[in-house]
Every structure is written in C-alpha cells, then in structure tokens.
Amino acid sequence: MVKVALIQQSCLEDKKSNIQKSFNLIKQAASYGAELVVLPELHCSQYFCHKEDTNYFDLAEPIPGPTSQVFSDLAKALKIVLVISLFEKRTAGLYHNTALILDKDGSIAGKYRKMHIPDDPAYYEKFYFTPGDLGFKPIETSVGKLGLLICWDQWFPESARLMALQGAQMLIYPTAIGLTPEDTPEEQNKQKEAWIISQRAHAIANALPVLSVNRIGQEQNNGQIFWGNSFIAGPQGEILQMASTDKEEIIMQEIDFSKTDEIRRIWPFLRDRRIEAYSGLIQRFID
Amino acid sequence: MVKVALIQQSCLEDKKSNIQKSFNLIKQAASYGAELVVLPELHCSQYFCHKEDTNYFDLAEPIPGPTSQVFSDLAKALKIVLVISLFEKRTAGLYHNTALILDKDGSIAGKYRKMHIPDDPAYYEKFYFTPGDLGFKPIETSVGKLGLLICWDQWFPESARLMALQGAQMLIYPTAIGLTPEDTPEEQNKQKEAWIISQRAHAIANALPVLSVNRIGQEQNNGQIFWGNSFIAGPQGEILQMASTDKEEIIMQEIDFSKTDEIRRIWPFLRDRRIEAYSGLIQRFID
C-alpha cells in the first residue's frame, strides 16, 4: 500500500517562484500523509516548447544539478519519494526531457529520459530534446518498482507494456498537454477524452495503476490551455481520482499494489500474448 | 466512405433457426443501405465454451463448408461484404475460432483464425480452439483493407498495432463477452467499461475506426449474461454509435476512411515509435 499525491499546478515564468510554489504543494501533500508525490512535466518553468528559441536552452541544467539538489533535500526532509521533471543539459548541444525519482533519503533512485518526442504546432519538442537513450526501464524505489514515462509516451501502448514486462508496479506520466483555443469545443473534448482513455487502457492492458499529472492554465496569449484533469486509475482502468480542468489542486489515493496480482488472475493477458507473431512490432511499417 | 452495420443478436440452440435469425437481420441492414455487415462471434450457436464437452465438436465445420456457403450466397445476393464467425474444423482433432470476410461477389476475401485464446471459468476456449496460425493480417475487400480480429484480441494492443502497421483501414471485433451474475454490480460495470475503453484505445493509438459486435442474453442457467453494448468508434476513439445492453438491434454508421489520414497528421504516433527500443515486446517477460 502506498499513498500517492499528484500535484496539479500552473507554472510561472520565474523558476524560483515556480519551485517555491511546488515546494508548498509538496509539503501540503506530505502533511496529508503522501509517501509518493508527483509533479507535472517540466514544472520549473512555463512550457517553452510553444516556440523554437535558442535562448530557452538557458533553462536547462545538468542532473544532478542545483534544481535536482533542492528537490532531493526536500524529499529527504519530508521522507517522501518525489517524482520531478527537468530540462536536462547533458553537454553543450545535447538536451533531454528527463524525469527523476528522488527517494526518501534524498538519493536519485533513477531517471528516465523521454523516449517518444512529439513535435507539432505549439509543442516543438524535437527542437529541444534528443530522444532518450536509456530505454524503458522501471525504477526501483522504497515504495515499489515504478514505470516512469513522460507525456507523449501516453499515446504508445508499447512503452506501457515494456514497463509491465519488466515488473513495474505502477505507471506514472508527468504531462503538459492542453487544448487549442481555435479548435471547436467538440474537438477539444474529443482530444481530452482520448488522452484519458489512452492511459486508462494502459492500466487495463497491464493491470497496473496509472498516475497522470498535468498542469493547468494558459501561459501564452492565444496559446494552448493546459487542461488539468490529472487522474489516478486503478488496474482495471477505473478512475479513482480526477482533478478539475482549471484548478491548482492535489489529488491523493491509497494504492494497493496487490490488486495487480488479483486482476491478472481474472484477466491473464500476459499468459496469452502471441510473442512469436509480434515481430512486426519492431518494424517502422510493414510494407 | 462505407456504410457499416453491426448485428447485435441473441443466439438460439438450434443452428438453423440461428442462421435464419441472422439472415433476417442482415437483410434488414442491407435494406437500410449497409455495405459491410458484421455478426458477433460464433453466432451460429449458443456459446458452447461455458463448459468442456467433446460433443460440442459436432458444431464445427470445414471452411469453406455448408455454413460459409449459405452466407456467401447471401452476401452475393445482397451485394454486401459480410463478416461471419465460425467454429472451424480443420481436420479431426484440430479446430479454430475463425472469422471470415465474404465479399460482394460471394467469394471468401480472407479469413482470420483467433490468435489470442482465452481460458477462464465459463470461457473454456483453450479446450476447443488451437491458437490461430495465420498471424495478424488485414484482409483486402471491395470496401477496404479490414483488420479482422476476434474477442479476446480486444485486450491486446499488439494485435491492433500489427493490423495498423500493415495498412488496415478499420478494426473489427466479433465478440461474445458477458458479465458474471455473482459479481457485484460495481465489478460488472468496471469490466464492461474496461472492455469498451480497451477498444477505443486501439482506435486512438492507430487512428482507425473500430467496430465491436457482441451478443446479448443469458444462455445457461446462472451463466454469463452477454452484455451487448456493441459499438462503433471513430479514429479518435469517439463513440459514434452504441447499442443497448439487452436488445437485439442493428447499429449503423457511415465511416469515412479519409479521417485516418487527417488524424495521423495531428497525432503522428507512427512517426515517433522507438522501434529500436521495442525488442522486449517479443519476449514473454523480461526477467
């Protein structure tokens, strides 16, 4: 059993005030008894990928680095496991979109470099981030083996499955996704619903709980409106908690990892995978 | 553009009356302008896999065989594409759960032998069906390239993806799934919702329309109650039509295949798959 908290927040331009805001929310979650706290994607700044601008590389930091250190210190002080998301500078000209798990003793339990990188209008991530080279590997922590992924990975059943096949006990998606103001309300709603369904389906296919943490608010004039709706799903894809579309808030849930074992007895999908017929999955297209 | 019809029906014990019932419904669908008509899984009999009984092998037939022939004749007479689902006898002691697509001229456009075979209380399919050996291959028809799968395949993102990677324009799932009367209403609902979400997610991940056709009714005392809810989803996973839980009915929808191209421009998941990091998908478990 682990008590998790998702921090759904808006982001400010200034890094310091941003980190201060996250700190306050994390402390609040810890005071409610959270043992695992998750922040949204790239929570130390506004979402800079809305345009391609070389100045934004200034926001990046090495890992470990000053920002990972202040969060490590906080995790240690509060004795919580903390999932943070940073713009990683690996060397000059080499950057990643990286999430970290900081354990209760402040150590870095592991990191994940975003593997699937999007690029579409207002999400110009291929300009900033080299696709991750650490693969899909769950991270061992003091609260369990965690399948940490990031945002765009949400759309790929492959990444969720690979985590499950390596014994992940939970899937975690820090996220920054929003609606396009010019779209019709119908289209906006379709997109948000698809985002939720896609992740609930990873829970179902793998009988794993899913934590998805999004930001809220509009950061640029006419820019995307981050749609919140952070949620916690159980291992049958059932929604356990869901946040609002537009409010800063913490959602919490006690997660029972033993449910996975129970659900896989009635839905033994891992038993029946036809792996000898799956080789096409590692092709780009079968033409 | 293709006008599709899903035949949600209950099944009778007697094969002849069963086929007659399907005939009536298919004719009705054709009279409404359906060009592609889909029947539920194993629609020629009641669902015999509720127990293991060697007598039930009598229900099986070769393909082509008398039953495939009567449906072929009907497809030809009505000039429709027809998806049927048969208990296939390949030779003595070798049986499959097989779906066929009959084209407008009555020819067999192709067949699919169920690859993922379930086996759990009241669904003893591993006793009856050898897992398919034809792989996951879309079938070329006069209304498009169709990714025909069957029931339990619904839970596996792998099969949907393999169809998409081979150019399928639509996913089709003839199904026989129901709720267990002893389960709590909450559990029953969770299972039905999971079943719907799992398939809507295949639509989303692959930007393909999905047709899912289930049967209705209770066939055995205290046996499962087939939950209907046949549905048609668009390529963003949006529900276009959904049938009731307990009524025999036809649901219809005009499907525009060009939407897939449009959706894959805004959600280009095929562009970003990290195939070089997916080799674990063809392992049973990574331990």
Instruction: Provide the pLDDT for residue A141.
Output: 98
- The arithmetic mean of pLDDT across residues B27-41, rounded, is 98
- Please count the residue pairs, one from chain A and one from chain B, whose beta carbons lie less than 8 angstroms apart: 164
- CA–CA dist B273, B262 (Å, integer): 19
Q: Is A188 part of the contact surface with chain B (CB cutoff 8 Å)?
A: no
Report pTM: 0.98
Confidence of residue A163 (pLDDT cuts 50, 70, 90): very high
List B residues 249-268 in contact with A (Cβ-Cβ < 8 A).
Answer: 266-268
Instruction: Provide the pLDDT for residue A30.
Output: 98
Active-site entry in A11, A44, A49, A151: A151
Tell me: the pLDDT tens digits for A66-80? Answer: 999 999 999 999 999
Instruction: Provide the pLDDT for residue A116.
Output: 98
Instruction: Provide the pLDDT for residue A172.
Output: 99
Determine the Cα angle at A160 with ends A155 and A162, to 5°.
Answer: 130
Instruction: Provide the pLDDT for residue B124.
Output: 97
- CA–CA dist A225, B153 (Å, integer): 37
Q: Do A198 and B193 touch (CB under 8 A)?
A: no
- CA–CA dist A137, A160 (Å, integer): 10
Instruction: Provide the pLDDT for residue A192.
Output: 98
Tell me: the pLDDT tens digits for A204-214? Answer: 999 999 999 99
A41 is catalytic: yes
Q: Do A280 and B166 touch (CB under 8 A)?
A: yes
Q: Do A270 and B287 touch (CB under 8 A)?
A: no
Instruction: Provide the pLDDT for residue B217.
Output: 97
Instruction: Provide the pLDDT for residue A45.
Output: 97
Instruction: Provide the pLDDT for residue B187.
Output: 97
Query: B143, exposed or middle or buried, with CB in 10 Å at 0-12, 13-18, 19+?
Result: buried
Domain positions in chain B are 2-265
* Cβ neighbours around B28 below 10 Å, total: 14
User: pLDDT exceeding 90 applies to what percent of chain B?
Assistant: 100
Instruction: Provide the pLDDT for residue B145.
Output: 98
- CA–CA dist A16, B72 (Å, integer): 71
User: For chain B, first and last CA: distance in Å?
Assistant: 47
CB within 8 A of A217, min separation 6: which ones? A10, A11, A225, A226, A246
The ipTM (two decimal places) reads 0.98
Tell me: the pLDDT tens digits for A164-207? Answer: 999 999 999 999 999 999 999 999 999 999 999 999 999 999 99
A186 is catalytic: no
Q: What is the CATH number of domain A2-265?
A: 3.60.110.10
Instruction: Provide the pLDDT for residue B166.
Output: 98
List B residues 101-130 in contact with A (Cβ-Cβ < 8 A).
Answer: 115-118, 120
Instruction: Provide the pLDDT for residue B278.
Output: 98
Annotated catalytic residues of B are 41, 114, 151
A44 is catalytic: no
Tell me: the pLDDT tens digits for B95-135? Answer: 999 999 999 999 999 999 999 999 999 999 999 999 999 99
Query: What does pLDDT average to over chain A?
Result: 98
> How many Å lie between the alpha carbon of A116 and the closest alpha carbon of chain B?
6
